[in-house]
A and B are shown apart, each in its own frame.
Chain A
Amino acid sequence: MSRARFLKISTMTDGDYDYLIKLLALGDSGVGKTTFLYRYTDNKFNPKFITTVGIDFREKRVVYNSRGPNGSPGKAFKVHLQLWDTAGQERFRSLTTAFFRDAMGFLLMFDLTSQQSFLNVRNWMSQLQANAYCENPDIVLIGNKADLSDQREVNERQAKDLADKYGIPYFETSAATGQNVEKAVDTLLDLIMKRMEQCVDKTQVSDTANGGSSGKLDSAKPEEKKCAC
């Protein structure tokens, strides 16, 4: 599957969607997780600092267009996104990390105007490895508050290198202007959908292996094994 496109849709309370995808934002307190998610779901900016109490989440529905292997347009799926927001403070750690294992993908955020928040990315990575649903979950690294260029403490090269080291995408975003916000989330969603397809392909192959052995009972002719389509 190659590139995917996303569209917004509004109705949210019914079960009319194809996938429930749970994402989780993590990173130091004050890097802009809550503001970022608010921008993503409601396309608004809230300059007030509202401490997240332990955990929270926001929701959004998007349409995911998968593409066939040859680039042909594939099916469109409705995706219900549940975006978990966590408190960055240490004292909430046991609670927030408990929620890590329910998420399918992660928005690991730091504040471009805070060197410390960037240094802590490594700690967050190890928290993820320990508590996420698997050892190498899908993650995007996000340097937020890109609009505050005069206060910048982390340069792009530094951050990019770190992301490359982990083999994850990196985006510089601004919840204030909306820059790259959607792109970052869409990229994460794309990664998850790809992983999902791979997992499914794998089971199909193994299903086939199982079925193949029992299929022998039915002395299938070689020509029948070919696809009839």
Chain B
Amino acid sequence: MACEFNLNFLKELEREAVLEVLYRDQMVRKTEEERIRKLKLQLQQLRWKGARNVSHEYQERSCARCQKSLGLLMNRGAVCNGCSHRVCSECRVCLNPCLWKCTVCYAHGDVKVKAGEWFFEERAKKYPGEGRHETVGAKLLKSYQKLSKISVVPPTPPPFTEAAAGSNVTELRQSKSFNKSVENLFLSLTTHIKKISKSQNDMADRRLLTTDYGQNVERRKQRRSQSDTAINITSRMKSTPSLQQLITGAQNDHEILTKRNCKEEEDITTSPTSDAVFCDGRKHGSLYSLNSTCTESGNFDKANITGEIEFAIRYIFKACILEICIKGCKNLAYGEEKKKKCNPYVKVYLLPDKSPRSKRKTAVKKSTVDPEFDETLKYKIEYSQLESRQLQISVWHAGALKYRVFLGEVVIPLAAWNFKDNSMQLFNWYQLKAKLEKPEGDLIQYSGELLVSARLSVPAQYKNFQFEGKKDQGVPNCQLQVMIFGAKNLPMLRCAGMLNSFVKGCLILPDQAEVKRKSPVLKKEACPQWKHLFVFDGVTPAELQQSCLHLTVWDQSAFSSSDQFLGGAKLGAKESFGCTDLVSQSVLQWQEVLHSPNKWMDFTLLLHSHKENFKS
């Protein structure tokens, strides 16, 4: 009897002892992760310092780090061996009498050393398949939490003092069955190590573990470690909502906003271009579910996609600038496999804008599959617009003449990006992916916004009529008035500000009859303000319930006979762009128009780029 009791007691004690160690180890790890995160943040700041004033245009001679201008004879600077950027003499760190590096390259190396990268690199040579940074302690703890489902409980404080534990264990260490049970515990733990390391990249798994901690500190850290490893972008996208939940959740609970952040927040709210434009944009789930697009026209070859790209993204609220700092790539495929040739460069588009205006490129690096670019590409763009945009970052090989080879790409939907979180500014490695062969048929692409106002004009004597049912017994013909105010963020076909745009309205009635209207052409406007009223006479509310108004924006062609389609939107009682469970804001508003005669209702319509979807 007593023996039985002891055995159970010991099992408990044993497990507690090991767990206590593992939890203590977790504390050490967290401190370490936090320290490395700070180091990286500092490095980041150093990088941004250099990037701040560099325009993406070809730069004149200036120090890549401090922006001091460099002379042609005196003070001409020199090229850093690490990054190939020209830097002034102050922005160098000497490693030995005949080797120096620029401040950023030096800091990069320093962070690597201080983060113990040398060790992980060495170890990866021996254990290539395994989690580079994951420790055995972390794996064991995870597998244990998973096994026992005790993970909701936060780490238990050390259950006994060193001395007490010691004496207990000492007395009982002879018990064979005790040892057996310990062995079993470890066996089950260690057999789960393999399982865990397999599911490392599985976001669902990670999320589970993350929430299991039940502590937001943990969540934040987990989230960070997710971004620290190069995770597969598509899996990230699939889990976007919960990722975002995690982010916002963590943010609400932790007011970790720095002074600068607070200022940025003010900037947004007081900004005249308020992000209200997109306050209902979130509900257009389908709009943001786009995956990847093929922006490349013309022919190009594809290499077998390998390797990763390291970059960071941030948004400068004050200046409304989106910055993409491209650090480098590693393990790229050879652009010309047979010749073992690779001259990589990075190209960025801010989708859905595929025009040259949206294109940014880095310099071409010669003969390397591990290029270091250290270049910052910039876009001037309003914060409110980011949500509907995707960053397409692709890597190309520049061969002889105009021969290009696609080496892989990463597409980042910015809707899921929290630009207010400093840790999102960190550099990360991303796995390069193949292009989707063809954009999916139902892909909807953003091409700006159209601001309109609509009302149902009803003769005065029917003012108090209840417009409820579908039948319009006794209801006279009404008038649908749609005021076309203006459009913004239209795709640029030529250089900025050169659109000659106009709007077409096409009201499709229940019997498929079409009533068409057209606005005047506004010349040379990037953000046209037509302030033009479309009037549709002789319609009834019931008819309008079954009708749909297609509004399309066009660029008048000066030379050819066909006008260029810029984007379209639909207004109606039914959801026009499939598959959302949520009824979009515009549908609700449309109902409101039909039910509240003579009341003007403002709409911000997202313009979609597929011409085939619209009648005009």
Contacts and interface: CB of A to CB of B under 8 A. Distances in A.
Interface string B400-443: 00000000000000000000000000000000000000000000
Interface stretch (B363-371, B375-383, B525-533, B573-581): B363-371
A86 to B, nearest CB: 11
A101 B96 CA distance: 33
Contacts of B78: 220, 224-225, 228
Interface in B121-178: 121-123, 125-127, 135-137, 140, 166-167, 169-170, 173
Given A213-B368, A214-B368, A228 B89 contact: yes
A82 B29 CA distance: 10
Interface stretch (B32-40, B446-454, B588-596): B32-40
A35 B86 CA distance: 56
A227 to B, nearest CB: 5
A8 to B, nearest CB: 18
Contacts of B89: 228
Nearest to A87: B182
Contact of B370 (A15, A54, A196, A210): A210
Given A50-B170, A55-B18, A229-B94, A102 B84 contact: no
Interface in A46-67: 48-51, 53-57, 59
Contacts of A207: 81-82, 105, 109
Contacts of B100: 227-229
Nearest to A18: B114
B17 interface: yes
B278 interface: no
Interface string A200-213: 10011001101111
Interface in B352-403: 363, 365-368, 370-372
Interface string A178-200: 00000000000000000110011
Contact of A50 (B99, B114, B169): B169
A218 B79 contact: yes
B118 A200 contact: yes
Given A15-B31, A134-B123, A211 B116 contact: no
A19 B32 CA distance: 9
A95 B229 CA distance: 26
B127 A101 contact: yes
B21 interface: yes
Nearest to A200: B113
Interface string A12-36: 0111011110000000000000000
Interface residues of B, number: 71
B109 A203 contact: yes
A214 B364 CA distance: 9
Nearest to B93: A229
Interface in A121-152: 133-135
A17 B83 contact: no
Contacts of B367: 213-214
Contacts of A217: 84, 363, 366
Given A82-B28, A134-B123, A208-B82, A95 B190 contact: yes
Contacts of B119: 104, 133, 196
A102 B35 contact: no
B490 to A, nearest CB: 38
Contacts of B170: 48-51
Nearest to B33: A15
B24 interface: yes
A48 B166 CA distance: 9
Nearest to A98: B136
B538 interface: no
A57 to B, nearest CB: 7
A56 B21 contact: yes
Given A19-B116, A200-B109, A211 B31 contact: no
The 8 closest A-B CB pairs, nearest first, are A15-B35, A50-B166, A199-B118, A133-B123, A224-B78, A229-B94, A211-B81, A53-B17
7 contacts: A54-B18, A54-B21, A80-B32, A98-B136, A101-B127, A200-B118, A228-B89
Interface of A: 13-15, 17-20, 48-51, 53-57, 59, 69, 80, 82, 91-92, 94-95, 98-99, 101-102, 104, 133-135, 195-196, 199-200, 203-204, 207-208, 210-218, 220, 224-229
Given A94-B190, A134-B122, A211-B82, 4 more contacts: A55-B21, A102-B136, A199-B118, A218-B79
